[in-house]
Homo-oligomer: A and B are copies of this chain.
Amino acid sequence: MSANARIAEVGEAISYEELGLAARNHAFPLEALRYDVTPVGLHYLLTHYDIPALDADRWRLRIEGAVENPLTLTLDELKARPRVSQTVTFECAGNGRARLSPRPISQPWLDGAVGNATWTGTPLAPLLQDAGLRPEAVDVQFTGADHGIERGVEQDYARGLSLAESLRDEVLLAYEINGQPLPPQHGFPVRLVVPGWYGMAQVKWLTSITVLDQPFIGFQNEIAYRYRVTEDGPSEPITRIQPRALMAPPGFPDFMSRSRVVDAGEVRLSGRAWSGWAPISNVEVSVDGGQTWKAAELDPPGERWAWRGWGFQWTAEPGECELAVRATDAAGNIQPVDQPWNRQGMSNNMVQRVPVTVR
């Protein structure tokens, strides 16, 4: 087992293994930034193994470990509990990986591993309280039904989350997306929703919640989702979403290259911005490839964990140009112009660049 993804040679093209992942794991097409709530089928998807086949009638959720009263819940019992809906932006921690140079070899995301959906479910904290947390509880392990092998380790997908994060009011056990039962690919029948965190925390196809009296040391926390710059150096866990703004590419595309053509004149640029650390405070647009930046107009703030719309009026003049956009959050985090390279290709929130031909 290697702790790290392989790094491609400089100039090494995409492999068939990477292509296979890119085909299975759906990216969000950027024109869908026009929808505040992402329609089912356009939200990004990352499935580590296979989408499992679960039967709602036979499904049970166990809450166990360092609790006084282990619980086993049916789906109906879960649905009978208090019902909450919230709109939350999800992003894969590996978004932008294939734009790193050299490229870590894994799911080769470009920019599109995002989505913003309305999740309905029941808050987790009262369930943990009902189970009776023991004083030694420190971490909570969430295990899904998806089973596979990763870097030699056979596993059910499982993630640990600190008890403090698990007890946040807005952490949900969700059974609906956009007002309909979860489809298989989004975790049917029940998934975890941890607002502000990257997608690896949003465990799908939940089967058990195990309260631990020591920190979780499973593969997905200790090996896979780490920010590590040198091969054997120290690493930090991946947690919340770094700020990012994306632009719906203006004009229309070429089929193969996706390069854009825009008619000269007034063009309304628009898109969305988000951060898991703090609300978005500023979005800036460059129409000269990042040499100069101007403030975009922010839409009125919506729900805290949903992305925020922005717009920018651009007078497009004939010729070639490169558009770019970057977000800053209220904690002072700003998207970098240069790549934040790391060995596993995590949280690359380098600014998006959109080459455009104005005619």
Residues on A lying within 8 angstroms of B by beta carbon are 12-24, 26-27, 29, 31-32, 34-35, 39-43, 45, 47-51, 53, 98, 105-106, 108-110, 112, 147-151, 154, 183-186, 249, 252-258, 261
Q: Give the chain B neighbours of A45 by CB distance below 8 A.
A: 41
Q: Can you offer 22 A-B residue contacts whose CB atoms are under 8 A?
A: A12-B13, A13-B15, A14-B15, A22-B23, A24-B27, A29-B47, A29-B50, A29-B51, A35-B184, A39-B183, A39-B184, A41-B183, A41-B185, A42-B183, A42-B185, A105-B256, A148-B253, A148-B255, A149-B254, A149-B261, A150-B255, A151-B256
Number of copies: 2
Q: Give the chain B neighbours of A151 by CB distance below 8 A.
A: 255-256
Contact A49 B147 (CB under 8 A): no
Contact B252 A148 (CB under 8 A): yes
A108→B23 CA distance, assembly (Å): 9
Given contacts A32-B184, A148-B254, contact A19 B22 (CB under 8 A): yes
Q: How far is the CB of A245 from chain B (nearest CB, A)?
A: 19
Q: How far is the CB of A173 from chain B (nearest CB, A)?
A: 21
Q: Give the chain B neighbours of A256 by CB distance below 8 A.
A: 17, 21, 105-106, 150-151
Given contacts A13-B13, A32-B184, contact A20 B149 (CB under 8 A): no
Q: Give the chain B neighbours of A51 by CB distance below 8 A.
A: 29, 31-32, 42
A18→B261 CA distance, assembly (Å): 20
Q: Give the chain B neighbours of A14 by CB distance below 8 A.
A: 13-16, 18-19
Given contacts A50-B31, A110-B20, contact A149 B253 (CB under 8 A): yes
Contact A23 B150 (CB under 8 A): no
Given contacts A20-B110, A112-B23, contact A48 B149 (CB under 8 A): no
Q: Give the chain B neighbours of A186 by CB distance below 8 A.
A: 41
A41→B32 CA distance, assembly (Å): 14
Given contacts A19-B110, A29-B24, A42-B183, contact A48 B255 (CB under 8 A): yes
Contact A40 B253 (CB under 8 A): no
A255→B29 CA distance, assembly (Å): 24
CB contact between A150 and one of B40, B49, B254 (< 8 Å): that residue: B254
A331→B30 CA distance, assembly (Å): 43
Contact B149 A252 (CB under 8 A): yes
Chain B residue with the shortest CB-CB distance to A257 = B17
Given contacts A32-B184, A252-B147, contact A23 B27 (CB under 8 A): yes
Q: How far is the CB of A10 from chain B (nearest CB, A)?
A: 14
Chain B residue with the shortest CB-CB distance to A14 = B14
Additional 19 contacts, C-beta under 8 A, given A42-B185, A105-B256, A106-B256: A12-B13, A14-B19, A19-B110, A20-B258, A21-B256, A22-B22, A22-B23, A23-B26, A23-B108, A29-B47, A35-B184, A41-B43, A42-B183, A48-B255, A49-B255, A149-B254, A149-B255, A149-B261, A150-B255
